[in-house]
């Protein structure tokens, strides 16, 4: 199975001590978002966990100790660095700081285990098509030598964005074409593979691949993993990823990103983080007597490696 640590919250950034302890103890619990009293138990051992997926906007808190996990497990790291400043991402480090941290991460885990995420792309009066293309070029020149590929997506217009981001400007078809052409051209310039995330459209004419963020091919290239022939159906519409299990919790990320789909609003996240106990086996709060503990079904996706004697 594949464990995801960053789909619901930025665990690496804000809960790194808890995360390291979970892998040290070899067990973690997570609540079902729809039925909170149903708590799933996962055993964190290399024979049951094929790969650990990190996704964060700041790896600085875990850099000096990430080897505690990478020495035992296969890993793949998604690093999100966008064009936005504090008005959109209030608690995220600035671009240059983030790039420097990505470079350090890449030198620790290896270029093939790092993907740069430039997503979501959104438009406002400040963040125009031209600004995106200029910033992407600046970032790509520095990041390309240290990342296996780049992933981007256009913002999804969730209903809560109407409240959280009234400044959003809808994309026109020409806007998208300019961005796609520019991203593809810049990626080619720096020999950087670029792909979409959960897109229904085909952008291959712009030099942009249609793929999943975590696929059999990616795990083979990054960790030399040979995965069984299983369906890449992901966790949402148009997702082309291998199935994974997230050990985080929604409404717990203090990054405060206005476009975030995992938080209802930042105030709820700031409230919930107060209930975090680094020594608890579950991210927020503790296991209650009324909780229904479910032993998660854990099956390896990896095929046995052939050995030559």
Query: Is residue 168 scored above 80 in pLDDT?
Result: yes
> Please, are residues 153 and 120 in contact by the beta-carbon 8 Å criterion?
yes
Smallest Cα–Cα separation from 251: which of 268, 234, 274? 268
The model's pLDDT over 54-70, given as tens digits with 9 standing for 90+, comes to: 999 999 999 999 999 99
Q: Average pLDDT of 99-124?
A: 97
Q: 123-155 burial string, b = 16+ CB within 10 Å, else e?
A: beeebebeebbebbbebbeebbebbbbbbbbbb
Does a structural domain hold residue 224? yes
| Whole-number percent of the chain with pLDDT over 70 | 94
Q: Average pLDDT of 141-159?
A: 92
Contacts with 152 (C-beta within 8 Å, 6 or more apart), sequence order? 117, 118, 119, 121, 183, 194, 195, 196, 197
| Encoded tokens for 233 | 């159906």
CA distance 280 to 295: 18
Does a structural domain hold residue 107? yes
pTM: predicted TM-score of the whole model, two decimal places:
0.93
Q: Average pLDDT of 24-34?
A: 96
| Encoded tokens for 47 | 């024979």
| Encoded tokens for 56 | 């964060």
Which sign does the torsion angle of CA 242, 245, 251, 252 carry? negative
Query: Is residue 307 scored above 80 in pLDDT?
Result: no
CA distance 196 to 210: 6
Q: Average pLDDT of 6-26?
A: 96
pLDDT value at residue 233: 60
pLDDT value at residue 236: 58
Does a structural domain hold residue 48? yes
Number of CB atoms found within 10 A of residue 169's CB: 12
Q: Average pLDDT of 40-62?
A: 96
What radius of gyration do the chain's Cα atoms show? 19
Contacts with 207 (C-beta within 8 Å, 6 or more apart), sequence order? 184, 185, 187, 188, 194
pLDDT value at residue 80: 98
Does a structural domain hold residue 301? no
CA distance 214 to 195: 12
Does a structural domain hold residue 94? yes
pLDDT value at residue 309: 35
Does a structural domain hold residue 98? yes
Q: Residue 208 is part of which domain span?
A: 2-295
Does a structural domain hold residue 85? yes
Q: Average pLDDT of 157-168?
A: 83
Q: Average pLDDT of 3-21?
A: 96
Question: DSSP characters for 52-91?
Answer: EEEEES--GGGGGGTHHHHTTS-EEEEEE--S--TTTSTT
Smallest Cα–Cα separation from 278: which of 66, 106, 28, 93? 28
The model's pLDDT over 244-281, given as tens digits with 9 standing for 90+, comes to: 999 999 999 999 999 988 888 778 999 999 999 999 99
Report how many domains make up the chain. Answer: 1
Query: Is residue 38 scored above 90 in pLDDT?
Result: yes
Q: Average pLDDT of 116-133?
A: 97
The mean of the pLDDT values for the chain is 92
Q: Average pLDDT of 117-144?
A: 97
Please state whether beta strands 114-121 and 149-154 pair in parallel, antiparallel, or not at all (unpaired): parallel
Cα 101 to the center of its chain, rounded Å: 16
Q: Which helix (H) or strand (E) holds 95?
A: helix 95-109
Q: What does the angle CA 32 – CA 38 – CA 44 come to, to the nearest 5 degrees?
A: 75
Does a structural domain hold residue 9? yes
Crossing angle, helix 173-189 and helix 129-143, to 10 degrees?
20
> Regarding predicted confidence, which is higher, 227 or 189?
189
Q: How many helices (H) and strands (E) does the chain have?
A: 9, 10
> Please, are residues 30 and 248 in contact by the beta-carbon 8 Å criterion?
yes
pLDDT value at residue 216: 87
Question: What's the length of the chain?
Answer: 309
* Residue 154, strand partner residues: 121
């Amino acid at each position: 199975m594949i464990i995801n640590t960053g789909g619901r919250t930025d665990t690496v950034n804000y809960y790194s001590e808890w995360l390291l302890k979970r892998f040290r103890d070899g067990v973690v619990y997570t609540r079902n978002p729809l039925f909170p009293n149903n708590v799933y138990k996962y055993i964190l051992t290399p024979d049951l966990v094929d790969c650990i997926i990190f996704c964060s906007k700041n790896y600085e808190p875990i850099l000096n100790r990430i080897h505690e996990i990478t020495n035992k497990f296969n890993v793949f790291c998604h690093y999100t660095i966008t064009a936005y400043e504090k008005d959109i991402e209030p608690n995220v480090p600035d671009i240059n700081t983030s790039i420097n941290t990505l470079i350090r991460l890449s030198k620790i885990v290896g270029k093939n285990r790092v993907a740069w995420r430039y997503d979501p792309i959104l438009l406002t009066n400040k963040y125009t098509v031209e600004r995106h293309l200029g910033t992407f070029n600046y970032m790509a020149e520095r990041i390309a030598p240290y990342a296996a590929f780049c992933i981007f997506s256009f913002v999804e217009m969730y209903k809560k964005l109407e409240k959280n981001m009234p400044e959003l400007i809808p994309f026109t078809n020409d806007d998208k074409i300019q961005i796609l052409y520019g991203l593809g051209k810049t990626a080619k310039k720096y020999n950087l593979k670029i792909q979409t995330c959960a897109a229904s459209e085909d952008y291959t004419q712009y030099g942009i691949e249609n793929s999943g963020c975590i696929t059999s091919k990616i795990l083979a290239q990054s960790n030399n993993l040979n995965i069984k022939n299983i369906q890449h159906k992901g966790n949402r519409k148009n997702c082309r990823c291998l199935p994974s299990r997230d050990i985080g919790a929604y409404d717990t990320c203090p990054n405060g990103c206005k476009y975030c789909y995992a938080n209802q609003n930042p105030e709820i996240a700031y409230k919930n983080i107060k209930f975090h106990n680094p020594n608890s086996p579950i991210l927020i709060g503790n296991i209650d007597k009324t909780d229904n503990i479910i032993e998660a079904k854990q099956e390896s996706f990896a095929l046995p490696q052939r050995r030559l004697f």
